[in-house]
Chains A and B, each alone.
Chain A
Amino acid sequence: MTGFDTPQVDWALVAPVLIVLGAAVVGVLLEAFVPAAARRVAQLGVSVTASVAALGAIGWSWHRLNGIDGTALYAMVTPDSLTGFAAPLGALVVDGMTLVSQAIVVVVALLSVLVMADRTASREDAFTPMVSAVPGSQYEQLATSRRMQQTEVYPLVLFATGGMMVFSATADLLTMFVALEVLSLPLYLLSGMARRRRLQSQEASLKYFLLGSFASALFIFGAALIYGSTGSLSFTEIAAATVSPNGLEKLLLVGVLLLMVGLFFKVGAVPFHLWTPDVYQGAPTPITGFMAAGTKVAAFVALVRVVYVMLPGMGWDLAVLVWTVAIATMVVGSVAVLVQNDIKRLLAYSSVAHAGFVLTAVAAGWGTGDKTDGPWAVLVYLLAYALATVGAFTIVALVRERSADGGTTGEATALSQWAGLGRTNPVIAGCFTVFLLSFAGIPLTAGFVGKFAVFAAAVQAGAWPLALVGVLASAVAAFAYFKVIVLMYFPGRDAKVEDAEINTGAGGATVTMARPKAATVVATQGWAAVTIGVCALLSVLLGILPGGVLTAINNILL
């Protein structure tokens, strides 16, 4: 060992991550030093400024990468990689995939922060005033009556965003593991902070935490086995080591399987999807939108890196695994969407189905050795999915139950309560229809462009069975989305179902359920409206004029 070589850091490349994580640290300090009354404004300012600045920094890197027309830039290099061992450590790779996914994640975070900040006409945000207070206790009532706020939400969201940004830029297993935890731990906490239905929220938090930490333990043990068989943590060195047999292939295979289980858990692929509906339902709705979109983008980009950068040679052994998981995910997700009667669970199972569609593109080019459109299709799909998801969950956050005094209370998540929303609130219902159509992949929406890219990539790589199952599964899921649209605009048809629900409610034993009242839409303070508007507009624009965005993503990936 010849002493320690100081790595040269290209600060401009790490700037987006540094800005977001730095702002999160500033947010924690604000909690300590700013008086309670001013905290919300201060936190909001820091979060929004950091997101916009990070977008600017990403734009600058994008410009540089476009200019050199190169492959990838490493944020950290050792001056002499022969003598130091620092080269594979702390490797953060900035390539086209990094920049596109970071841009999507930051936009998702920005749009979600706007929704989190929106207190609506009810003057209450989605988060409990005091997380530590026992639900229903006097202490909680006191906190509510004093209009206290849990403003730690904003730094936590920034930490999670930073983790997602690093997760999609990893070049070794160490960085990947740390990023996985940095993005997960804040989300575990955020899931438990809902203002209403706090028991469910805490339960979602516990389930997410136990299953998530179990999955990341499997992930890191897999990483240890891969390290054992190849002697390195760096993706490129592992790829080089897997080419020549060294008698430890079984160790490598088990390690890769465990690693993939950890990643499949994060993207919510069958059979590791069971946490998804529970956590999506229990978590505060703005958080659900944020994590549904952001985590999926980051985790899929990480999966693409594992498949295409770390293990390009193992496709022959493992492509069948990803094929199986992709088909199971599409089928289970799409069928489960059909039978849901809670809007948040419906969207959760829909996200499971979407994970399956993205997996077709991931699986398609693996093992064939050809250069495929897989990564490009994954990014296009994720962009469309993220826009529709954030928008849809924002609307779910605004559709409320009526209280006795004419105001609004909690969210009306029962699907039967959404009946007739198209008549009473045409704008909100119209936007929700756009998002559902985008989920379904109807032409002239972003979802269609995404689905087309994914299935085209699969067919191009010769994986037509995957594309076939994908098209059939999207048709099944589309039926579920149309059911919701019909329910919103033509409520009469489902009135019978609503009555039946009352008669047989709670298993027919103790029927004390009141007739579910039709939902109403609470007026926003404007910020949530911005999010909905941006998401709907982009979903339609990307569907009508996809050319520019697709070419831009394609150019930066080359």
Chain B
Amino acid sequence: MNLMNYLVLSTILFSVGATTVLVRRNAIIAFMGVEMMLNATNLALVTFARINGNLHGQVLAFFVMVVAAAEVVVGLAIIVAIYRTRRSASIDDVNLLKDVRDPA
């Protein structure tokens, strides 16, 4: 099977993930989009490792997995804390911090 197909799939998955982050309004779903981007990267990395004939890509893929796991821990902690405070995980609801127009 042509290795190119894996790269195309990886790009599609990455784009779907990025679109999810930008479009979806639930913090958990948006975060799932980030995870999808990372996993698409893993697919690209192992494919490139196969194409290039060395192991660097596979080693990096392992590190990406570990980092993704650590990111889940931190991310869910933050989202759960927000949810317990506001009873909502919508990104649209977090709007306290913004530029206030100069009163004049």
Would A217 and B37 count as touching, CB distance under 8 A? Answer: yes
- Name which residue of chain B comes closest to A234, CB basis: B56
What size tier do the contact residues of chain B reach? 35 or more
Whether A227 contacts B94 in the complex (CB less than 8 A), given A174-B59, A177-B60, A342-B100, comes out as no
A203-B96 in contact (CB<8A): yes
Q: Which of A135, A213, A340 is the one whose CB lies under 8 Å from B31?
A: A213
**Within A170-215, which residues are at the interface with B (CB < 8 Å)?**
173-174, 177-178, 181, 185, 188-189, 192, 198-200, 202-207, 209-210, 213-214
Complex interface bits, B17-36 against A, C-beta within 8 A gives 1, otherwise 0: 11001000001001100100
A424 CB, nearest partner CB in chain B, Å: 24
Residues in A126-154 with C-beta less than 8 Å from chain B = 131-132, 134-135
Taking the complex as formed, is A412 at the interface, i.e. its CB lies under 8 A from any CB of chain B? no
Q: Decide: A192 near B81, CB < 8 A? Known: A203-B96, A228-B51.
A: yes
By a CB distance below 8 angstroms, the chain A residues around B48 are 224, 227-228
Q: A188-B78, A202-B85, A214-B34 are in contact. Are A345 and B60 (CB under 8 A)?
A: no
Structural contact, B34 and A504, CB atoms closer than 8 A: no
B56 engages A88 (CB within 8 Å): yes
In the complex, whether A82 has a CB less than 8 A from a CB of chain B is no
Q: Is B85's CB under 8 angstroms from A185's CB?
A: no
- The listed residue (A134, A189, A231, A277) touching B54 by CB distance below 8 A is A231
| B97 lies within 8 A of A282 (CB) | yes
- Name the residue on A nearest B21 (C-beta): A214
1/0 per position for A425-454, CB-CB distance to B under 8 A?
Answer: 000000000000000000000000000000
Determine how close the nearest CB of chain A comes to the CB of B20; give it in whole angstroms: 10
Q: A220 contacts the other chain (Cβ, under 8 Å)?
A: yes
B56:A233 contact, CB within 8 angstroms: yes
B71 — which chain A residues lie within 8 A by C-beta? 181, 185, 213
> Given the complex, which residues of A lie within 8 Å of B27, measured CB to CB?
206, 210
Partner of A224, one of B53, B57, B84, B102: B57
Residues of chain A lying within 8 A (CB to CB) of residue B77: 189
Confirm or deny: A281 has a beta carbon within 8 angstroms of a beta carbon on chain B.
yes
Contact across chains for B59 and A205 when beta carbons are under 8 A apart: no
> Which A-chain residue is minimally distant from B39 (CB atoms)?
A217
The reply on A501 being an interface residue by CB < 8 A is yes
Chain A contact residues (Cβ within 8 angstroms of B): what range?
35 or more
Cβ–Cβ contact A227 & B52, under 8 A: yes
Nearest A residue to B97 via CB reads A278
Q: For A15, list chain B residues within 8 Å (CB).
A: none
Interface centre among B56, B63, B71 (most CB of A within 10 A): B56
A482, CB-defined interface residue at 8 Å: no
Is there a chain B Cβ closer than 8 Å to A341's Cβ?
yes
Which residues from chain A contact B94 at a C-beta distance below 8 Å? 203, 206-207
CA distance A336 to B99 in the complex (A): 10
Chain B min CB distance to A394 (Å): 22
Contact mask A405-429 → B, CB, 8 Å, 1/0?
Answer: 0000000000000000000000000
Chain B residues, CB < 8 A from A177: 60, 63-64, 67
Contact A221 B30 (CB under 8 A): no
Does B16 sit at the interface, judged by CB under 8 A?
Answer: no
Q: Please give the distance in Å from B64's CB to the nearest CB on chain A.
A: 6
CB pair B14–A210 under 8 Å, yes or no, is: no
Instruction: Give the docked Cα–Cα distance between A497 and B103 (Å).
Output: 8
A505 touches B97 (CB 8 A): no
User: Is A316 an interface position by the 8 A CB rule?
Assistant: no
Q: Are A220 and B78 in contact (CB under 8 A)?
A: no
A198 and B86 alpha carbons, distance in the complex (Å): 12
Cross-chain contact of B74 among A189, A202, A282 (Cβ < 8 A): A189
Q: A200-B96, A227-B45 are in contact. Are A233 and B60 (CB under 8 A)?
A: yes
CA distance A217 to B100 in the complex (A): 31
Q: Across the interface, which residues of A come within 8 angstroms of B64, CB to CB?
A: 177, 220
Please state if A220 and B52 are interface contacts (CB–CB under 8 Å): no
Q: Given known contacts A189-B77, A206-B82, A231-B54, is B100 in contact with A181 (CB within 8 Å)?
A: no
Given contacts A85-B54, A185-B74, contact A217 B63 (CB under 8 A): no
Please tell me which one of the listed residues B17, B44, B78 contacts residue A225 in the complex, with CB atoms under 8 A apart: B44
Q: Is the CB of A203 within 8 A of B60?
A: no
The smallest C-beta distance from A43 to any residue of chain B, in angstroms, reads 20
* B55 at the binding interface (Cβ < 8 Å): yes
**Which residue of chain B has the shortest Cβ distance to A498 in the bound complex?**
B103
Taken together as a complex, chains A and B put the C-alpha atoms of A346 and B79 apart, in Å, by: 28
Are B78 and A189 interface neighbours, CB within 8 A?
A: yes
Residues A205 and B78 in contact, CB atoms below 8 Å apart: yes
Is A161 positioned at the interface, with any CB of B under 8 Å from its CB? no
Specify which chain B residues have a CB less than 8 angstroms from the CB of A342 in the assembled complex. 100
Rank and list the top 4 A-B pairs by shortest CB-CB distance, nearest first.
A217-B37, A228-B48, A278-B97, A231-B52
Q: List 16 extra interface pairs beyond A199-B85, A204-B97, CB under 8 A.
A: A174-B56, A174-B63, A181-B70, A202-B85, A206-B78, A207-B97, A209-B75, A210-B21, A210-B91, A224-B57, A224-B60, A227-B60, A228-B47, A231-B53, A339-B99, A341-B103
Q: List 20 A-B contacts (CB under 8 A).
A: A85-B55, A85-B56, A89-B59, A132-B81, A185-B70, A189-B74, A192-B81, A203-B96, A205-B82, A206-B82, A209-B74, A217-B34, A217-B38, A218-B18, A220-B38, A221-B40, A224-B60, A228-B51, A231-B52, A233-B56
Q: Which residues of A contact B (CB under 8 A)?
A: 85, 88-89, 131-132, 134-135, 173-174, 177-178, 181, 185, 188-189, 192, 198-200, 202-207, 209-210, 213-214, 217-218, 220-221, 223-225, 227-228, 231-233, 277-278, 281-282, 336, 339-342, 345, 497, 500-501, 504-505
